[in-house]
């Protein structure tokens, strides 16, 4: 309970007041107290009724209607400190990128090239994994994550990245993380609904490897990386919400996400870390001595040590100005991270004050307006970091010219290949930049 809330505002008390016919002694005293306040200020009765209606949301008019929405407080770096120290790209150089494959590819979150250099391969919003096989033939379906997939049910073309897909998404699949095993040429897939899967170099229907951990289904597999010894580290974003409802994970601040490990020799899945707030991208270091993963809700990158005296411990190596998604290594052993920008002062207030979120997001107003009112404005930023979190490069697209929701940056063949979960194209940018 937050003591700064006046008693006649408190949601639990209003709840008691309106709903329960049987009252305990304690509740009676609170009600007595409240009656005194209310009699002195009759307009409070009206306010209380309106508020109780909003908070209980019986008609489920609010954005969180129908969900067991329980905001919690999060530990996040100070907005002012992060924004002051973060270098900005005043020239908005990410805006110089090219949009490729417009309306040919739908929400390509993760991008990969195979061991023969072919690609890109991409996981799409319609559930397929596709690959580019050249100008003449274009994109071909390479793999599917479930035999439930049918063209009729799942193929919605450019509408795959809209709400029209959401109803069928759990049946069609949503591959979010892709990685080729550099030795075997097999493609490993983290699918939000079908867990960790693998498919051979010829593609086809993928084979599930990990769908459960500790006897319970994995609800939201998100990204993966492959250790040299064959073990696969992957993130499970939440035990409460699946991908379609991922926005609630951030609004609520709930931290039930995990880092998991699948060991091929024993075919077993293990919990490596738990209690994470929206664990998302995962990337092993070049020497395999640690891995980095992003925690989207808390806007940060965490290092998990696999070797040495710190083995098994974690360290926050970067507090970011926005919400990170996937993270990928370049050939120099540096890390590209895709960031949806930016944090705001209002967001900091929200994350520190769960009681306010529990009222605010129950207002019967569409989410897009509520988000705008608290000043959330989305554009994209990509950043290159060293293994200690030193900032080596920041590229922004302030006007949102190239794309608004970036999900992955992959440096390959002299370009940055930039994926997006919500748009129907891939952005590319020659790199290193030739900008004056």
Q: Which residues bind ligand NAG (CB under 6 A)?
A: 88, 90, 146-148, 170-171, 227, 229-231, 261, 263, 265, 306
Q: Which two tokens stand for residue 184?
A: 């075997």
* Closer residue to ligand NAG (CB): 32 or 313: 313
Distance, CA of 330 to CA of 84 (rounded, Å): 27
Helical H runs in 42-121?
Answer: 43-56, 79-85
- Residue closer to ligand NAG by CB (options 4, 90) is 90
| 9 DSSP 8-state letter | G
- Contact at 8 Å (CB) between 110 and 419? yes
Whole-angstrom distance, CA of residue 306 vs CA of residue 324: 22
416/414 Cα distance (integer angstroms): 7
Q: State the nearest-atom distance from the C-beta of 206 to ligand NAG, in Å.
A: 10
Kindly state the helix (H) or strand (E) to which residue 249 belongs, with its residue range.
helix 246-252
CB of 257 to ligand NAG, least distance (A): 19
Count H helices and E strands in the chain, helices first.
10, 27
CB of 197 to ligand NAG, least distance (A): 10
CB of 313 to ligand NAG, least distance (A): 13
In angstroms, give the least distance from the CB of 267 to ligand NAG. Answer: 11
Task: Compute the least distance from the CB of residue 324 to ligand NAG, in Å.
Answer: 22
- First-to-last CA distance in the chain? 56
Shortest Å, Cβ 400 to ligand NAG: 18
Q: Which is nearer to ligand NAG, 211 or 334 (CB)?
A: 211
- 148 vs 330, which CB is nearer to ligand NAG? 148
Shortest approach of ligand NAG to residue 401 CB, angstroms? 18
Query: 25-40 and 43-56 are packed helices; what angle lies between their axes, rounded to 10 degrees?
Result: 130
User: Hey, is 43 helix, strand or coil?
Assistant: helix
Show Cβ contacts of residue 129 under 8 Å, excluding neighbours closer than 6 positions: 121, 122, 123, 141, 142, 143, 144, 145, 175, 178, 187, 189, 199, 203
Q: How far apart are alpha carbons 61 and 366 in whole angstroms?
A: 8
Residues 108, 419 contacting (CB under 8 angstroms): yes
CB 212 to ligand NAG: min, Å: 12
Considering the complex, state which of residue 180 and residue 304 has its C-beta at the smaller distance from ligand NAG.
Answer: 304
Q: Considering the complex, what minimum distance in angstroms separates the CB of residue 230 from ligand NAG? A: 5
Nearer to ligand NAG, 185 or 264 (CB): 264
DSSP state of 371: H
280: left (phi over 0), alpha (psi -120 to 50) or beta: alpha
Residue whose entry in the numeric block shows the structure tokens 């150089």: 93
Rounded to a whole number of angstroms, the minimum distance from the CB of residue 331 to ligand NAG is 22
271-278: long-range contacts, CB 8 A cutoff, minimum separation 24: 271/213, 271/214, 272/233, 272/304, 273/304, 273/314, 276/235, 277/74, 277/249, 277/253, 278/237, 278/238, 278/246, 278/249, 278/250
- List helix spans (H) across 41-180: 43-56, 79-85, 151-154, 166-172
Task: Decide whether 148 or 353 has the Cβ nearer to ligand NAG.
Answer: 148
Cβ closest to ligand NAG, residue 154 vs residue 339: 154
Q: Considering beta carbons, is residue 99 or 153 the nearer one to ligand NAG?
A: 153
Question: Toward ligand NAG, which CB reaches closer, 17 or 86?
Answer: 86
Our CB check for ligand NAG shows the closer of 174 and 357 to be: 174
Residue (of 90, 76, 122) closest to 319 by Cα position: 76
């Amino acid at each position: 309970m937050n003591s700064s809330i006046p008693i006649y505002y408190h949601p639990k008390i209003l709840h008691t007041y309106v709903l329960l016919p049987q009252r305990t002694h304690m509740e009676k005293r609170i009600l007595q107290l409240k009656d005194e306040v209310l009699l002195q200020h009759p307009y409070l009765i009206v306010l209380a009724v309106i508020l109780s209606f909003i908070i209980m949301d019986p008609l489920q008019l609010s954005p969180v209607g129908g969900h067991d929405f329980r905001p919690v407080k999060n530990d996040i770096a100070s907005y002012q400190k992060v924004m002051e120290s973060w270098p900005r790209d005043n020239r908005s150089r990410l805006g110089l990128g090219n949009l490729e494959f417009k309306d040919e590819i739908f929400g390509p979150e993760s991008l990969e090239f195979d061991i023969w250099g072919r690609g890109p391969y991409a996981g799409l919003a319609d559930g397929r994994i596709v690959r580019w096989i050249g100008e003449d033939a274009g994109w071909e379906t390479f793999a599917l994550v479930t035999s439930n997939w049918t063209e009729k049910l799942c193929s919605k073309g450019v509408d795959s990245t809209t709400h029209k897909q959401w109803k069928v998404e759990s049946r069609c699949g949503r591959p979010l993380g892709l990685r080729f095993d550099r030795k075997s040429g097999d493609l490993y897939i983290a699918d939000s609904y079908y867990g960790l899967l693998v498919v051979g170099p010829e593609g086809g229907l993928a084979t599930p490897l990990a769908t459960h951990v500790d006897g319970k289904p994995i609800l939201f597999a998100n990204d993966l990386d492959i250790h040299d010894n064959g073990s696969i580290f992957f993130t499970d974003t939440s035990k409460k919400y699946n991908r379609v409802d991922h926005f609630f994970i951030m609004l609520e601040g709930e931290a039930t996400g995990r880092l998991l490990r699948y060991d091929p020799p024993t075919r077993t899945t293990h919990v490596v870390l738990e209690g994470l707030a929206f664990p998302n991208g995962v990337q092993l270091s070049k020497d395999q001595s640690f891995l980095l993963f992003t925690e989207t809700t808390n806007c940060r990158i965490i290092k998990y040590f696999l070797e040495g005296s710190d083995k098994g411990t974690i360290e926050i190596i970067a507090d970011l100005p926005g919400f990170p998604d996937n993270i990928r290594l370049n050939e120099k052993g540096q890390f590209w991270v895709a960031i949806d920008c930016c944090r705001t002062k209002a967001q900091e207030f929200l994350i520190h004050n769960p009681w306010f979120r529990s009222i605010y997001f129950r207002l019967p107003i569409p989410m897009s307006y509520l988000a705008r009112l608290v000043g959330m404005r989305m554009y994209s930023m990509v950043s290159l970091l060293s293994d200690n979190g030193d900032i080596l490069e920041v590229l922004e697209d302030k006007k949102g010219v190239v794309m608004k929701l970036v999900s992955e940056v992959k440096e390959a063949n002299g370009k940055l290949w930039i994926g997006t979960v919500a748009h129907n194209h891939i952005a590319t940018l020659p790199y290193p930049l030739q900008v004056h």
